[in-house]
């Protein structure tokens, strides 16, 4: 009887599971049908496009699926650049849209190159005679950059403008690893290849520090010039230099300090700002952003999406975003096989006449970088022009990929270069000995059991690893030299793992022109002989109906719970950087041995929410293992 009862419970469980799956399929189908009808979302006539930029702005959002949703691990907190730029561009010509509101209260940030592209789109929007208003409690660097492109900047009475400039602390693990008796074996080429320094030093080397200082100084100069050009009445450099004396003199009221310095135009509570927007755009249904007539980003994109899918000649945009890894990977991470397969499918699509490879990556696996490059070369062999567009970061493996392009576009603040290679292998012979664990064995050759993480690397293996790294570096510099028509000696001089801002990279002939993604698309279209407005097709792993379904129900709790007061917002950014750095350590431990990666570059680019989540998971796992 016990066996029969157990079997019956099993059958009931199977039945319940099948019923649940049928219900899920029904609701997915219903959701798909409803979302295919763009007319179901109406745009308020005379209202505002409201860009509530919760979280980070990235080139390609991190993929979330049913499992992530069920476990509460959906990434969220990201807006895609293409969506923001597309919405601003459509709204500029949309007679129903009267203006634009930038809600920056929970904005985490974006890479500087992406900020520049959005700033340019906002300038065009204002030129069309449509006003832009910005509101936030606390404006940090990225938020203030966007706000500077508004007609009017509003700030909460309890708010502040806290501009700090690029830079900050990095983590160094040498002493901690020494206490754990873990040896980190590093093989590298490149004087400035600082990615391995957190494991071998307690601070940055003089060479790495000098290169990083030159980079952040260049980024800061570009940021200041852009902001002061957009808002000429401000003197940001002087404001930052004298902030510690201005705030005490104003009794600690930082909102008044910002107003007196002409960094903002009005001090108002959220309800007062809402009332002002009602006067400007009219009364609307109560929304999260307020009661004025307006429409958010996702709803506006749904309302303006073509009912019939477009067809005809197009330029395909290949996204190489995040860490470059071997094999398959979800969107937001550049899986070599995933991207190569997407490129192969694009080349078989008769509508796609040219490709743009959009890079926002600090690199990663050498093999995956080469796999993507070969796929792009295959597209060129079939007659498709290939143009590269650099976002916030195009370094190491990200630059390796771009060498397949006929032409490279970058933004002035694009972090470019880092032509260098390293290999890293941890060994645990000393830590195991401390636990009383010994090892012994026999070999048939000096390479039996190598690389041996238990007993340590043999001298012959060390020679092979260093030679392999040097060989890959020679291949890297040879590829760059051939692609950029530069002598190898010159590539080696500007290489060595060093990174450059886009303006410097242009002078060094690492890129061809300054320009955003639109400029690269236009160039690719011209090479393919396309005329007029160019249709753009995203060449990426497609989202399944299941993913779209669960993403549509992803909670907005993160945005609601995110700290808004000035210093908490700065601490949140610092915490994100810390968790991402821990995620980097986890990735290096689990990733390929041979890497063309620039971790310090990635940390200066787009906020890495996905990598920060990986770091948080690593800390959680570590905490649960403690007695």
Span 274-280, average pLDDT: 96
Identify the pLDDT of residue 477.
Answer: 95
Please, what sign has the CA dihedral across residues 357, 578, 556, 30?
A: positive
Q: pTM to 2 decimals?
A: 0.85
Q: Average of pLDDT values for 503-510?
A: 95
Inform me whether the pLDDT recorded for 31 exceeds 90.
Answer: no
Residue 107 φ/ψ, nearest 5 degrees: -80, 125
Higher-pLDDT residue of 621 and 161 is 161
> What band does 74 get if pLDDT is binned at 50, 70 and 90?
very low
* For residue 557, pLDDT beyond 50: no
Ramachandran region, residue 390 (left: φ > 0; alpha: ψ -120 to 50; beta: rest): beta
Q: Inform me whether the pLDDT recorded for 398 exceeds 70.
A: yes
Q: Does pLDDT of 109 surpass 80?
A: yes
Cα-trace Rg, the chain? 26
Q: ω before 451 within 30° of 0 (cis)?
A: yes
| pLDDT > 90: percent of the chain | 52
pLDDT score for 427:
86
Better pLDDT: 2 or 528? 528
* 3-class DSSP state of 409: strand
Mean pLDDT, range 410-417, rounded to an integer: 93
pLDDT of amino acid 487: 95
Q: Residue 235 and residue 237: Cα distance in Å, rounded?
A: 6
Q: What is the DSSP pairing of strand 594-597 with strand 421-427?
A: antiparallel
Report the pLDDT value the prediction gives residue 495, as an integer from 0 to 100: 86
For 42-73, how does the pLDDT look when each residue is reduced to its tens digit (9 = 90+)?
Answer: 899 999 999 999 888 999 888 765 444 444 44
Provide φ and ψ at 467, rounded to 5°: -65, -40
Measured distance CA(255)–CA(267) in Å, rounded? 7
**DSSP states along 417-471:** E---EEEEEEE-HHHHHHTT-------SSTTTT-S-TTT---HHHHHHHHHHHHH
Report the pLDDT value the prediction gives residue 616, as an integer from 0 to 100: 67
Q: Tokens 């998971």 identify what position?
A: 617
- Which of 201-210, 514-523, 551-560 has the highest average model confidence (pLDDT)? 514-523
Residue 562 clears pLDDT 80, i.e. is over it: no
The pLDDT of residue 2 is 54
Exposed (0-12), middle (13-18) or buried (19+): which is 103, by Cβ within 10 Å? buried
Q: Which helix H or strand E contains 548, and what residues bound it?
A: helix 545-552
Spans of all domains in the chain = 39-165+214-304
Tell me the pLDDT tens digit for each residue of 316-348.
Answer: 999 999 889 999 988 888 999 999 999 999 999
- 290 close to 281: Cβ distance less than 8 angstroms: no
pLDDT at position 113 is: 93
Token readout for 245 is: 């004396």
Q: How far apart are CA 394 and CA 602, in angstroms?
A: 9
Residues 394 and 410 sit within 8 Å (Cβ to Cβ)? yes
| Coil vs helix vs strand at 319 | strand
Residue 408 reports pLDDT greater than 80 = yes
Q: Answer whether residue 368 shows pLDDT above 90.
A: yes
Per-residue pLDDT tens over the stretch 219-244: 999 999 999 999 998 889 899 999 99
Helix (H) or strand (E) holding 189: strand 183-189
Backbone phi and psi for residue 101, each to the nearest 5 degrees, phi listed first: -115, 125
CA distances from 360 to 183, 399, 460 (A): 32, 10, 38
Nearest-angstrom CA–CA distance, 373 and 368: 9
Alpha-carbon gap, residue 426 to 103, rounded angstroms = 46
Give the CATH superfamily of 39-165+214-304. Answer: 2-enoyl-CoA Hydratase; Chain A, domain 1 (3.90.226.10)
Residue 623 has pLDDT above 70, yes or no: no
Burial of 467 (0-12, 13-18, 19+ CB in 10 A): exposed
| pLDDT at position 39 over 60 | no
Q: Average pLDDT, stretch 197-208? A: 84
What is the spatial distance between Cα 88 and Cα 304, in angstroms, rounded to a whole number? Answer: 12
| Tens of pLDDT, residues 114-126 | 999 999 999 999 9
Residues 365, 325: contact at Cβ < 8 Å?
A: yes
Separation of alpha carbons 229 and 18, rounded Å: 61
Coil vs helix vs strand at 526: helix
pLDDT band at 293 (very low <50, low <70, confident <90, very high): very high
Catalytic residue numbers, as ranges: 193, 396
User: Could you tell me whether strands 324-325 and 290-292 are parallel, antiparallel, or unpaired per DSSP bridges?
Assistant: unpaired
Confidence of residue 423 (pLDDT cuts 50, 70, 90): confident
Mean of all residue pLDDT scores within the chain:
84
Count of alpha carbons within 13 Å of 116, Cβ hemisphere only?
A: 25
Looking at the chain, the whole-number percentage of residues with pLDDT higher than 70 is 79
Region 367-374: mean pLDDT is 96
Q: What is the pLDDT of residues 531-548, one digit of tens each?
A: 888 999 999 876 655 555
């Amino acid at each position: 009887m016990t066996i029969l009862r157990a079997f019956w419970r099993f059958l009931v469980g199977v039945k319940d599971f099948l019923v649940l799956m049928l219900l899920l399929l029904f609701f997915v189908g219903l959701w798909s049908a409803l979302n295919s009808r763009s007319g179901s979302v109406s745009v308020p006539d005379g209202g505002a496009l409201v860009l509530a930029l919760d979280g980070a702005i990235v080139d390609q959002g991190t993929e979330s699926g049913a499992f992530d949703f069920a476990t509460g691990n959906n990434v969220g907190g990201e807006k895609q650049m293409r969506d923001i730029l597309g919405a601003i561009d459509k709204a500029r010509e949309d007679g129903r849209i009267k203006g634009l509101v930038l809600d920056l209260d929970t904005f985490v940030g974006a890479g500087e190159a992406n900020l520049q592209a959005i700033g340019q789109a906002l300038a065009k929007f204002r030129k069309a005679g449509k006003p832009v208003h910005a509101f936030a409690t606390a404006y940090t660097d990225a938020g203030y950059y966007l706000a500077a492109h508004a007609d009017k900047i509003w700030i909460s009475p309890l708010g502040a403008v806290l501009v700090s400039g690029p830079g900050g602390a990095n983590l160094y693990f040498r002493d901690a690893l020494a206490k754990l008796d873990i040896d980190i074996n590093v093989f590298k080429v490149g004087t400035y290849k600082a990615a391995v320094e957190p494991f071998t030093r307690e601070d940055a080397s003089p060479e790495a520090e000098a290169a990083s200082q030159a980079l952040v100084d260049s980024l800061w100069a570009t940021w200041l010039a852009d902001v002061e050009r957009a808002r000429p009445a401000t003197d940001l450099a002087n404001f930052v230099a004298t902030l510690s004396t201005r705030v005490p003199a104003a009794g600690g009221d930082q909102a008044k300090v910002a107003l007196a310095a002409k960094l903002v135009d009005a001090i108002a509570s959220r309800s007062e700002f809402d009332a002002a927007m009602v006067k400007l755009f009219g009364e609307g249904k109560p929304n999260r952003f307020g009661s004025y007539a307006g429409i958010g980003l996702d709803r506006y994109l749904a309302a303006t999406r073509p009912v019939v899918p477009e067809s005809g000649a197009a330029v395909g945009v290949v996204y190489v975003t995040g860490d470059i890894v071997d094999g398959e990977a979800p969107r937001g991470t550049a899986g070599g096989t995933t991207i190569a397969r997407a490129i192969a499918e694009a080349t078989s699509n008769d509508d796609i006449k040219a490709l743009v490879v959009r890079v926002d990556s600090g690199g990663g696996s050498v093999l995956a970088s080469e796999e993507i490059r070969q796929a792009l070369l295959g597209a060129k062999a079939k007659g498709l022009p290939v143009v590269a567009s650099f976002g916030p970061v195009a370094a190491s493996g990200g630059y390796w990929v771009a060498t397949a392009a006929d032409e490279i576009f970058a933004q002035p603040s694009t972090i470019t270069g880092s032509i260098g290679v390293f290999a890293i292998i941890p060994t645990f012979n000393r830590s195991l000995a401390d636990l009383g664990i010994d090892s012994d064995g026999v070999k048939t050759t000096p390479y039996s059991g190598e690389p041996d993480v238990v007993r340590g690397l043999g001298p012959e293996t060390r020679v092979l690893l260093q030679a392999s790294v040097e060989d890959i570096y020679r291949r890297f510099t040879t590829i760059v030299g051939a692609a950029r028509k530069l002598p190898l000696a010159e590539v080696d001089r500007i290489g060595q793992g060093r990174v450059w801002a886009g303006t410097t990279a242009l002078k060094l002939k690492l890129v061809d022109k300054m320009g955003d993604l639109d400029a690269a698309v236009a160039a690719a279209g011209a090479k393919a002989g396309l005329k007029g407005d160019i249709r753009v097709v995203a060449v990426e792993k497609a989202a399944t109906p299941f993913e779209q379904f669960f993403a549509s129900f992803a909670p907005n709790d993160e945005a609601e719970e995110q700290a808004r007061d000035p210093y908490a917002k700065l601490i949140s950014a610092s915490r994100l950087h810390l968790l991402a750095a821990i995620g980097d350590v986890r990735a290096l431990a689990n990733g390929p041995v041979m890497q063309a990666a620039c971790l310090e570059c990635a940390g200066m680019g787009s906020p890495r929410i996905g990598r920060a989540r990986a770091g948080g998971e690593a800390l959680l796992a570590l905490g649960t293992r403690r007695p």
